[in-house]
Amino acid sequence: MSYSFASATVLLLLITDPVGNIPIFANALKAVAPARRRRVILREVLIAFGLLLGFMFAGDGFLRVMNLSPLSLQMAGGVVLFLIALRMVFPPPPAPVEPTAAEPLIVPLAIPALAGPSALATVMLLVSQAPERRWEWVGALSVTMAVCAIVLLLAERLQQRVGPRVLQAFERLMGLILVAVAVEMLLRAVRTLAAQLGGG
């Protein structure tokens, strides 16, 4: 599946899901002093950005070491995206989570909330399909992380202004879009596989 800068940015935004991560960040930051929350959010976003950037540049080597083809990564990515999208459209009942007493570091905010397995697989998929456009994907990732930072920094205001129901409806809409992206990714992978088998 061929991506443009805009479609790659949208895909990364759907996967990192900053709106859906608002409750996770809010719960994890309850024990953090309000004056430090902005710094913690920015730090966690930067850590996630660094990890995703690392996978973007080291993804080719990882695929070679694991003996994985871009086609297998595309099919696996489509399956993972589809499962994530279903959870966005049909979210499970929220489990009661006690806020941590210490300031969160890396886990659970940077990883896996922002830089989860699906995001890591997606950046590797982008590079494996078009390695010559690596810097374009870096730009798309940079825009994505900037949007995540802005949304999470404004999370309290957003919750107060629009309310949890509107945020939930928006996340489900994003989930529907991601379902379509996942199905398209799987269909293209199946067509590519059929063409390879037919040619062989």
List per-residue pLDDT tens for the chain, 200 residues long.
578 999 999 999 999 999 888 888 888 888 888 889 999 999 999 999 999 999 999 877 777 788 877 778 778 878 877 887 888 888 877 655 555 567 888 988 999 889 987 888 889 888 888 889 999 999 999 999 999 999 999 988 888 888 878 888 888 888 888 888 888 888 888 888 888 887 65
Handedness of CA 95, 114, 11, 38 (dihedral sign): positive
pLDDT of residue 50: 97
Give the total number of structural domains in the chain: 1
Neighbours of 160 (CB within 10 A): 8
For residue 115, the enclosing domain spans: 5-199
pTM: 0.81
Tokens matching residue 73: 């990564």
> Burial of 193 by CB count in 10 Å (0-12 exposed, 13-18 middle, 19+ buried)?
middle
Full 3-state SS string of the chain: CCCCHHHHHHHHHHHHCCCCCHHHHHHHCCCCCHHHHHHHHHHHHHHHHHHHHHHHHHHHHHHHHCCCCHHHHHHHHHHHHHHHHHHHHCCCCCCCCCCCCCCCECECHHHHHHCCHHHHHHHHHHHHHCHHHHHHHHHHHHHHHHHHHHHHHCHHHHHHHHHHHHHHHHHHHHHHHHHHHHHHHHHHHHHHHHHHHHHC
